[in-house]
Structure 1
Amino acid sequence: MRSVRARAALGATVVVALALAVAGLAVLLVLRANLTDQAGLQAEVAAREVAGQLALGTRYDELKTGDEDDHPVQVTDEDGRVVAVSKDLDAISGTGTDRVTPVPQPSPAPSVPGDTDRHGGEDRDDDEDDDGAAGAGTGRQEVSTDDPDFSSGTATVDGERADYRFASVEVTDSAGQPLTVHAGAPLAAEQRAVGSVRGAMLTGLPVVLLVVAGVTWLVTRRALRPVEGIRREMAAITASEDLSRRVPEPGSRDEIARLARTTNETLSALETSVERQRRFVADASHELRSPIASLRTQLEVGAAHPELLDVPGAVADTVRLQALAADLLLLARLDAGERPAAARLDLGALVHEEVSQRTGDRIPVAVSVPEGGGFEVTGSRGQLARVIGNLLDNAERHARDSVAVAVRREGGGVAVRVTDDGDGVPEAERERIFERFVRLDDARTRDEGGAGLGLALARDVAERHGGRLAVVDAGERGARFELWLPDAR
């Protein structure tokens, strides 16, 4: 089932069906228990009524059992023998014995009630004598006040068999014989009520499930309509390769609206990345074409006229081409997410090393590194050396008379400041100069101005090392670049 709507509708229908089934079963059980308890109460009332007659000395064949069709009665003695049954009782089960034929035995003598005088008052002396005689001659008469025992069974009355709820009440008759009265109440009403409720549930359940499935389908369809719009637009973007298009954003503030916004943000980032990559490839091709064309021209002239071959120029073009290729390769590795090494190195010593190798610079570099060291950072020695070298190259290219490098501790890290006394960087251009292939000195030749990759490469390396590179205020004249890296400790 590939449709989300179908899965949602099916899932909701199954959950509702299970919930209704459990709830319906609970209702049926509670209803059955309540109606059974009511039937048991009716059976108890009937049993106690018969037990009261037995306690008063009523003969077994003279017991009044009410409506025999509704309350079949069976009386047994302590040995389980049947001593009395209600009229027309043909069969019974669930009372301990299924016999319905009473055992012949003499009926108990009726109890003698106390004499009363004509005015309704009792003669205490006569009453005491009668009570004493009754106690001695007829035994103790008593109906048990304990809760009766209940059971379910069947009874056949006048040829009709039905289910009953039986209550068993213990009684001692006037002769002192323990008896048990079993009286039943019909369960037909309970069965009809439970059957009606069950039938209504079975009839209504499919209707309810159809309604739930339909409503879930419609609601899900309405909720997923923006998702389908997003899908269609993404398919169109993929087919057209037009990353300037955006998916529609619904006016709601739900998860789908957030998905649309996130998708558009991703498309914007992707468009920017692709555009940046295109510019990068175009600029790299343009920058590579110049030294390659120059080198080819010199080699062709040298092949035709060896005496005219400019070897120093060819070497310079080769060196420039090699440096540009190295910068492009490093930028490609950084863009691919390459992590720098985790070596510990002293940034002050690295600055001294880089400056000492620059013997052919146009302007000498003044170095200021406090004694004692303690400028350790973590990272790639080769990449950080490339950053310092690029900053020095940029300063040499723009300086008039001086270039200075200073190292110091600052803000939980190590800062390297490269300052020159050139024309400086306009404040509006201080971020733009870190873009790739951007040069502010467009009037210069490419040979003098470089390819415009040095500062972009330096910032990328600094950020990969958890640091930063920025242009800071250098005062009235010149430019100052500050590299900050976190302390290795």
Structure 2
Amino acid sequence: MRSVRARATLGATLVVAVALTVAGLAVLLVLRGNLTDRAGLEAEVTAREVAGELALGTTYAELDPGDDDTHPVQVTDEGGRVVAVSRELEAISGTGTSQVAPVPPAPTPSPGDDDDDDEDEDVDDDDPPRSEVSSDPPDFTNGTATVDGETADYRFAAVEVTTKEGVTLTVHAGAPLAAEQEAVDTVRTSMLTGLPLMLLVVAGVTWLVTRRALRPVEGIRQEMAAITASEDLSRRVPEPDSRDEIARLARTTNETLTVLEASVDRQRRFVADASHELRSPIASLRTQLEVGEAHPELLDVPGAVADTVRLQVLAADLLLLARLDAGERPGRAAVGLDALVREEVSQRAVDRIRPDVSVADDSGPLEVAGSRGQLARVIGNLLDNAQRHAERSVAVAVRADGGDVLVEVTDDGSGVPEAERDRIFERFVRLDDARSRDDGGAGLGLAIARDVAARHGGTLTVGEGPGGGARFTLRLPKKPQDGRDGTAEDG
């Protein structure tokens, strides 16, 4: 079954069916046991009444066991011979013997027997036997009996009794099991009749409840299908008023759509901005080449080279951003940030403001795990940004801060307004829009720097420097010394 509603209904119905079946069997067993015990109690009462009469000296001829037709009685001696039965008892089973005709009792010894017999009689006279009914719990058996032509099932109780003559007899008395069988049959029939109806009710209620519970899910599915067909990520799925799992699913789906919409919008802006940024150097380069082709003496070779370099740098930045957006994970090589900063500072052009580097001597190893090439790009972008906005000086500090390594790049420029400190890390955003593109760049350097820092488990923030300029702080987790890996990766 492909329907959740159908599977839930079937599962609930099967569980209820098993539970009702087990409960019904338990009820039948308990009911049968109670009724059987009641019939046994009736049989025991009748058996003890007859045993009491025998203990009082009632003879077999005078004994009238089972004065009603509902409690057949059979009395046997120690040899298993039947000595008395109830009236109209025609057949019996379950009492140890099926005889229903009394056997004449054995003859009583006469006073003229031999001396041994006299001695026995003397002993008996000295210690006459006591008549009593056994107080032990009776033995219960099930059997059948035919009384006045009708055969039925009975519960028999066997009680022993000793007569005044010292003869031990066993009284078997029965109680009918018809009431027990009728009650059990009635309950069983009611259960067999009511079980299908109960299962139909359970299935119907489960179907309706599941349908109502899954209705919001169907609404979510339909809205998602509509969003997929229209490609309109601004739409949202309906959120039910309940606070259950479906409501949380709807909220999570809408949150996912929001993130997806932002990602797609960001990608579209990125493509549009990249196309705009690429158009300018390409158009400039093409113009210069066309002029050079028509008038070789007017070819601006340095300008063409500058446009080519700018185009190359922009293409490299776009490629790196694409790799970062694709989720590329940096390497785990050990990179010394102090040495990396010195290397990047040494490569700065002599006609720019040369950064002043300071490294804390007592900080220990200032190594992080990552891609040396990407981290070098971050340091280079921060230095380029600081040199571009500084008036007279740029300071770079490298130090340890707990389990992190900090690189702080400070300039003495005009700084970054507090309201713009998050915006400058967006792609293609420049606060100096009045400046030329050649001087101001494409606005990708800080965006790349923050993305690379985040991929390395760190952060990049901007604040205010001591002189009012901007201070960029790169914080990266320090590499554990017991897991050093000297393999370099330029990523």
- What TM-score comes out, normalization by structure 2 length? 0.91
Q: Is the 8 A contact 1:108 1:175 kept in 2?
A: no
Q: Which residue of 2 aligns with 1:222?
A: 212
Match of 1:331 among 321, 324, 330: 321
Other-structure match for 2:367: 376
Tell me the equivalent position of 1:408: 399
**Cα offsets for 1:262-283 (capped at 9, x unmatched):** 1111111111011001111111
SS of alignment partner, residue 61 of structure 2: helix
**2:190 aligned with 1:200:** yes
For 1:409, the aligned partner's letter is A
What's 2:389 paired with? 398
Distance 2:468 2:86 in 1: 125
Q: 1:426 aligns with which of 417, 426, 433?
A: 417
Partner of 1:139: 129
1:473 and 2:464 matched: yes
284, 294, 297: which is aligned to 1:307? 297
More displaced 10-residue stretch of structure 1: 424-433 or 170-179: 170-179
- 2:67, 2:87 within 8 Å by CA — same for their partners in 1? no
d(CA) in 2 for partners of 1:137, 1:474: 127
The Cα offsets for residues 367-397 of structure 1, whole Å up to 9 and x where unpaired, read as 1113365212222111111100000111111
Moved more, 367-376 or 280-289: 367-376
SS of equivalent to 2:329? coil
Contact 1:361 1:396 in 2 (8 A): no
Q: Which residue of 2 aligns with 1:71?
A: 71
* Contact persistence 2:386–2:411 (CA under 8 A): yes
In the alignment, structure 1 residue 169 sits paired with structure 2 residue 159:
yes
Structure 1 residue 167, shift from structure 2 partner: 0.4
Match of 1:10 in 2: 10
Question: Secondary structure of 1:62's partner?
Answer: coil
Q: Distance in 2 between matches of 1:43 and 1:168?
A: 9
Give distance in 1, aligned partners of 2:67 and 2:265: 99
| Paired AA for residue 88 in structure 2 | D
* Whole-angstrom distance in 1 between the partners of 2:350 and 2:327: 35
Matched, 1:29 2:29: yes
Residue 79 of structure 2 aligns to a residue in which SS? coil
Residue 140 of structure 2 aligns with an amino acid whose one-letter code is F
Show the 5 A alignment for 1:1-400.
Answer: 1-106=1-106, 136=126, 139-371=129-361, 373-400=364-391
Structure 2 equivalent of residue 120 of structure 1: none
Is residue 345–residue 354 contact of structure 2 (8 Å, CA) maintained in 1? no
CA shift at 1:352, angstroms?
Answer: 0.5
> How many pairs were matched up?
467
Verify the 8 A CA contact 1:90 1:155 in the aligned structure 2.
Answer: yes
Q: After superposition, give the CA deviation of every residue in 1:65-106 in whole Å (9 maximum; x if it has no partner).
A: 234421111112222222222121111111122222222224
Instruction: Name the amino acid aligned to 1:45.
Output: V
State, as a whole percentage, how many aligned pairs show the same letter. 77
Unaligned regions of 5+ residues in structure 2, if any? 110-121, 481-491
Displacement, 1:429? Answer: 0.4
CA–CA distance in structure 2, aligned partners of residues 82 and 281 of structure 1: 112
Amino acid of the residue matched to residue 222 of structure 1? Answer: R
| Cα offsets for 1:101-157 (capped at 9, x unmatched) | 222224889xxxxxxxxxxxxxxxxxxxxxx99865863312110000111111111
Letter in 2 for 1:206: P
- The answer (yes or no) to whether the contact 1:68–1:88 under 8 Å persists in 2 is no
Distance 2:127 2:379 in 1: 128
Q: Is the 8 A contact 2:42 2:175 kept in 1?
A: yes
Distance 1:93 1:361 in 2: 125
> For residues 338 and 108 of structure 1, what CA distance do their matches in structure 2 show?
116
Q: What does the per-residue CA deviation read over 1:433-478, in whole Å, with 9 as the maximum and x for residues that have no partner?
A: 0001111111112111111110000001111111111111113432
Q: Which moved more, 1:42-51 or 1:401-410?
A: 401-410
Structure 1 residue 46, shift from structure 2 partner: 0.7
Cα 1:382–1:108 change in 2 (3 A) is: farther
Q: Distance in 2 between matches of 1:167 and 1:18?
A: 37
User: What letter matches 2:164 in structure 1?
Assistant: S
* CA displacement 1:170-212 (0-9 Å, x = unmatched): 1112221222111100000111111111222222222222222
Q: Is 1:483 matched with 2:474?
A: yes
Comparing 378-387 and 305-314, the one that deviates more? 305-314
- 2:488 aligns with none
Deviation at 1:413, TM superposition (A): 1.4
- What is the alpha-carbon distance in structure 1 between the residues aligned to residue 470 and residue 76 of structure 2? 119
Question: C-alpha separation between the residues in 2 aligned to 1:64 and 1:90?
Answer: 16
Alpha-carbon distance, 1:13 to partner: 1.7
8 Å CA contact 2:67, 2:86 repeated in 1: no
Is residue 108–residue 174 contact of structure 1 (8 Å, CA) maintained in 2?
no
Deviation at 1:62, TM superposition (A): 2.4
- Residue 327 of structure 1, CA deviation: 1.3
- Tell me whether 1:454 sits opposite 2:448 in the alignment: no
How far apart are 1:311 and its partner, in Å? Answer: 2.6
Question: Does the aligned pair in 2 maintain the 1:59–1:107 contact within 8 Å?
Answer: no
1:441/1:449 contact within 8 Å kept: yes
**Partner letter of residue 461 of structure 2?**
A
Matched position secondary structure for 1:203: helix
Please give the alpha-carbon distance, in whole angstroms, between the structure 1 residues aligned to 2:368 and 2:179: 91
- TM-score, structure 1 as length reference: 0.91
Match of 2:430 among 431, 435, 439: 439
SS at match of 2:229: helix
Shift of 1:333: 1.5
- Corresponding residue for 1:115? none
In structure 2, the CA distance between the partners of 1:316 and 1:403, relative to structure 1 (3 Å rule), is same
Q: Give the direction of change, closer, same or farther, for the CA distance of 1:135–1:357 in structure 2 (3 Å limit).
A: farther
Please provide the CA RMSD for this pair: 2.0
Structure 1 residues 318, 139: closer, same or farther in 2, change over 3 A?
same
Structure 1 counterpart of 2:366, which letter? F
Q: What is the alpha-carbon distance in structure 2 between the residues aligned to residue 98 and residue 6 of structure 1? A: 60
| Cα pair 1:59 1:108 within 8 Å, conserved | no
